[in-house]
Chain A
Amino acid sequence: MATNGHQPPPFFRRGLPPTAKLTIYIALSLALLVGDLQMSYLSTLRQGVTILTYPLQIAAATPAEFARNVANYFNGLITLQRENERLRSDRLQAAKQLLRSSQLEQENTELRGLLDMRERVKVRAIAAEVLFTARDPFSRKVILDKGGNQGVEPGLAVADAVGVIGQVTRVFPLHAEVTLLSDKEQAIPVVIERSGLRAVMFGTGSGLTELRYLAANADVRVGDRILTSGLDGVFVPGLPVAKVIRASRDAAESFGRILCLPIGGVEKSGSVLVLGRAGALPLRPSEEALDPRRTAAGRISQRHELQSAPAAQSAVAASVSTSSSTSSSTAKAISASSAAASHSAMPKPARNTAVIATPVASAPAASVSTPQGDR
């Protein structure tokens, strides 16, 4: 008999007693559990293990995909023709809207420029494909075929052709995990299109979503469309999310119970878009950046203003000395920017004078006034 590859059973090498081993491994598992839920430093371990599991997952998913494709292949010519027809008419419809939308966008930017408002959020989109549904029966997640290497980041919204379906929660180098809207732990900030009411939408775990913490007399009607509000600074505002299907008010409870049906195919989408904001997020204004003169009690102190005025003037003087403009315009610039500094309690008119009075040397003046104007 060939002994090659066979090891003798370890009769004498038994190691720890099984109960001790059990205790150790249970303790390890519980440590993992707590570490994963309470602290986030386990994500590196997760990333590492994914390198091992992802090829296996792809190997397992490919035959299933193949079987589905074969079924599609024999679907028949008529179905395909019908689908082609539908897609063509869809495209015409979309093209009509697209043509108008580019013109509207142009108009919007101009109007916003006239009104001196911030630019609208620019959207960046990554097309992705849902690879498969994650097999965790306790949550609702899907796996996308694009990951960190393609620019997917945690927190981005995921939408199909009609509406939002979820949010990217974990990103791996080659794939990403999306928590669907219907997941029990998923919450997104929304706004009701008709009334402009802000709310937070939660999944219920059963395919529907729920608007929570809205007063019982809130202005919500059945059929209202719900859009993303973008107030979290992550989602793109204005994406359609859901439609209210039931708004019941119970006198016994202080909050109304509002159930919504997601517009997008949350449980059944194949191709999706990962939508994010292009460009860096505006930083959250901290208390001091909001108004340097504001004390913790909310009162504006006069003393602070007196201190800040000379500092601003010296900054202006420094910037003016570097600029190579004529003497008359420099004098104008100094007078305008000193006006801006002394009128810092009223930033808007001061800024306007700075812009109007100094067309030549507006650069140094603007460099002083922009932090106030963007408040």
Chain B
Amino acid sequence: MLPTHRSSRILLPVRMNFITISLIVALVLHFVPMGRFYAIPDFVALVLAFWCVREPLRVGMGTAFILGVIVDVAHGAVMGQHALAYVLLAYTSTVMSRRLLWFSPGAQALHMVPLFLMSQLVMLVVRLLVGGRFPGWEYFFSTFTTAALWMPVHFVLLIPQMRPIDRDDNRPI
């Protein structure tokens, strides 16, 4: 008998196009100019980590690296800063994906907090090493806003894979 965890709902397979589109939308959201407001969630990291957890065989470190370079260029940051952070994020979420999928979305969000924190720390360390200024502790706000968005993103990005609920008492699963 199957355990009754939330992921047991049978989903349709994901379409690669949808993954691509969601990543592009995340990029555009990430590029919205917000000035010096640090609590903006890192949408790219969020969507990337989500797909790394859900589809570790399709989205992984290669995607993370490419997205990282794109974000680096768009932000005018040092080349490789986001790439390094996203690659590490993709690796850890891929490794954790088997475990994470047994939890409810809320618990998954809690599990993601250390991962997002790690990616932010990596960027901070890289920039401080090359002589950037410390942006203040509010820099880490973004970790928590990103993790808080895990649940809505979990719901929205899985909509295309949902099957209409048709109850059939004779069906085994």
Beta-carbon contact of A138 and B127 below 8 Å: yes
Closest B residue to A141 by CB, please name it.
B76
Q: Interface size class for chain A?
A: 35 or more
Beta-carbon contact of A5 and B17 below 8 Å: yes
Q: How far is the CA of A206 from the CA of B133 in the complex (A)?
A: 9
Given known contacts A56-B24, A135-B34, A138-B127, is B132 in contact with A49 (CB within 8 Å)?
Answer: no
A149 at the interface (CB under 8 A from B): no
Which of the candidate stretches A18-26, A112-120, A362-370 sits at the interface with the other chain? A18-26
B34-58 interface mask toward A, CB cutoff 8 Å, 1 = contact, 0 = none? 1110101000000000000000011
The residues of B that contact A49 with a CB separation of less than 8 Å are: 69-70, 73
A185 at the interface (CB under 8 A from B): yes
B77 at the interface (CB under 8 A from A): yes
Which of the candidate stretches A59-67, A293-301, A340-348 sits at the interface with the other chain? A59-67
- B residues 1-45 near A (Cβ < 8 Å) are 12-13, 15-17, 24, 27-36, 38, 40
Beta-carbon contact of A9 and B70 below 8 Å: no
Q: Interface size class for chain B?
A: 35 or more
Beta-carbon contact of B131 and A6 below 8 Å: no
- Best-surrounded residue of A7, A26, A45, A177 (most CB of chain B within 10 A): A26
Given known contacts A60-B31, A135-B34, A137-B38, is B80 in contact with A9 (CB within 8 Å)?
Answer: no
The residues of B that contact A26 with a CB separation of less than 8 Å are: 84, 87-88
Beta-carbon contact of A33 and B80 below 8 Å: yes
Pick the contact of A21 from B12, B27, B28, B61 — CB < 8 Å? Answer: B61
Pick the contact of A46 from B60, B61, B73 — CB < 8 Å? Answer: B73
Closest B residue to A132 by CB, please name it.
B33
B172 at the interface (CB under 8 A from A): no
Beta-carbon contact of A5 and B75 below 8 Å: no
B94 at the interface (CB under 8 A from A): yes
B76-89 interface mask toward A, CB cutoff 8 Å, 1 = contact, 0 = none? 11111101100110
Beta-carbon contact of B79 and A134 below 8 Å: no
Beta-carbon contact of B73 and A184 below 8 Å: no
Beta-carbon contact of B31 and A53 below 8 Å: yes
Nearest-CB distance from B112 to chain A (Å)?
Answer: 18
Given known contacts A36-B78, A45-B79, A132-B33, is B133 in contact with A138 (CB within 8 Å)?
Answer: yes
Interface pairs (8), CB distance under 8 Å: A6-B12, A25-B62, A49-B69, A60-B31, A61-B31, A64-B32, A135-B75, A138-B77
Which B residues contact A (CB, under 8 angstroms)? 12-13, 15-17, 24, 27-36, 38, 40, 57-58, 60-62, 64-65, 68-70, 73-81, 83-84, 87-88, 91, 94-95, 126-127, 130-133, 135, 139
Q: Which 7 A-B pairs rank lowest in CB-CB distance, beginning with the nearest?
A: A132-B33, A32-B80, A205-B133, A138-B132, A36-B79, A33-B80, A29-B84
Not counting A42-B79, A132-B35, a sample of 18 additional A-B residue pairs whose C-beta atoms are within 8 angstroms of each other reads A6-B12, A7-B16, A14-B57, A25-B62, A25-B87, A28-B83, A29-B83, A33-B79, A46-B73, A56-B31, A57-B31, A60-B31, A61-B31, A135-B34, A135-B40, A136-B77, A137-B139, A139-B133
